[in-house]
């Protein structure tokens, strides 16, 4: 899934230092959209959110969930945490 091998997926184990959550500190997930003239024109026409989001992804926008899964592949967070924090962006 998302190009990540199952043996690369980590899971937080927890300890006294992290209050048994398996997480320590914060890690940002980022979604950046660079506007071009075509997208500006589309915004003016008031598209529905689903259609506009699809168009943005087709133009190369990296979604929060995609950024999260890149960080899962790097061992910086877990699948469960990415799914939890990006649940409303589907």
* Residue 58 belongs to a domain: yes
Classify residue 43 by its DSSP letter.
Answer: H
Average pLDDT over residues 63-89: 87
Domain limits for position 45? 6-89
Give the residue, 90 or 35, on which the prediction is more confident: 35
pLDDT, position 9: 62
Task: Give one word for 33, left, alpha or beta, with left for phi > 0 and alpha for psi -120 to 50.
Answer: beta
Give the residue, 36 or 1, on which the prediction is more confident: 36
Q: pLDDT tens digits, residue range 9-61?
A: 666 677 777 777 777 778 899 998 888 899 999 999 999 999 999 999 999 99
* Residue 1 belongs to a domain: no
For the chain, report the end-to-end CA distance as a whole number of angstroms.
16
Q: What domain count does the chain have? A: 1
* Residue 80 belongs to a domain: yes
């Amino acid at each position: 899934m998302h190009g990540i091998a199952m043996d690369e997926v980590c899971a937080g184990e927890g300890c006294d230092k992290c209050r048994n959550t398996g997480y320590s500190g914060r890690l940002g997930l980022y979604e950046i959209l660079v506007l071009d003239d075509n997208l500006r024109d589309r915004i003016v026409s008031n598209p529905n959110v689903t259609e506009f989001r699809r168009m943005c992804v087709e133009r190369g926008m990296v979604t929060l969930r995609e950024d999260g899964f890149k960080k899962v592949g790097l061992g910086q967070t877990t699948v469960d945490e990415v799914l939890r924090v990006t649940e409303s962006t589907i």
